[in-house]
């Protein structure tokens, strides 16, 4: 398998020209279901599997799970900022550097619980939003663009599926 396919096993995120309410609802439903899907996928992972890289030079399976928790925690905070402030500028973070921090050496159980809690709160927030709330935006300084919560919602649906695919990749190499 080539490195691009290992890096992006489900392909790159592609923003639809128009995001319909139906498509948005599908993303919200997936974000609600994701923790259960993730926990189920991880049930058979032993310590050897968790220490495998999903691609040469990539994160280990454990680091990827910890990353999902951190990334989705940031997404929830960014959603709240966009809902309560006018076009706030978000704070990017160095994902690769976070993966080197001591908490990434913990067992994955706390991150799985964190993902469950984050998604419980995030889903309540998403389901409580009015259609016009999804039009609210934040400014992303790395891309120098305003990003709507509608697009962010679809991005994190993709992000969830993207890393779930990473978690399953080492099984191809056994």
The residue extents of the domains of the chain are 20-173
Q: In this predicted structure, what is the pLDDT of residue 173?
A: 53
Q: In this predicted structure, what is the pLDDT of residue 171?
A: 62
35-61 b/e (C-beta count within 10 Å ≥ 16 → b): beebeeebeebeeebbebbbbeebbbb
- Tens of pLDDT, residues 22-78: 999 999 999 999 999 999 999 999 999 999 999 999 999 999 999 999 999 999 999
Which of residues 1 and 49 earns the better pLDDT score?
49
pTM reported for the whole predicted model: 0.95
Query: 91 — alpha (psi -120 to 50), left (phi > 0) or beta?
Result: beta
Question: Residue 140: enclosing H or E segment and its boundaries?
Answer: strand 137-140
The CB density around residue 25, as the number of other CB atoms within 10 Å, is: 13
Dist CA 84 CA 122 (whole Å): 15
- The answer to whether residues 6 and 64 touch, using CB atoms and an 8 Å cutoff, is no
Residue 58 contacts by C-beta under 8 Å, 6 or more apart in sequence? 6, 7, 166
Q: In this predicted structure, what is the pLDDT of residue 174?
A: 52
- Tens of pLDDT, residues 98-150: 999 999 999 999 999 999 999 999 999 999 999 999 999 999 999 999 999 99
- Tens of pLDDT, residues 140-169: 999 999 999 999 999 999 999 999 999 998
Is domain 20-173 classified as CATH 1.10.3720.10? Answer: no
């Amino acid at each position: 398998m080539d490195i691009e396919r290992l890096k992006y096993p489900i392909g790159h995120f592609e923003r639809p020209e128009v995001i319909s309410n139906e498509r948005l609802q599908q993303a919200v439903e997936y974000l609600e279901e994701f923790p259960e899907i993730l926990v189920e996928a991880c049930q058979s992972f032993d310590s050897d599997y968790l220490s495998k890289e999903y691609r040469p030079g990539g994160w280990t399976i454990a680091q990827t799970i910890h990353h999902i928790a951190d990334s989705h925690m940031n997404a929830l905070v960014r959603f709240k900022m966009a809902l309560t402030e006018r076009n706030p500028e978000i704070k990017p973070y160095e994902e690769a550097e976070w993966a080197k921090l001591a908490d990434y050496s913990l067992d994955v159980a706390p991150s799985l619980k964190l993902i469950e809690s984050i998604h419980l709160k995030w889903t309540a927030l998403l389901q409580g939003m009015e259609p016009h709330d999804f039009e609210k935006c934040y400014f992303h300084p790395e891309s120098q663009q305003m990003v709507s919560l509608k697009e962010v919602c679809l991005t994190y649906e993709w992000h969830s599926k993207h890393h779930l695919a990473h978690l399953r990749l080492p099984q191809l190499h056994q």
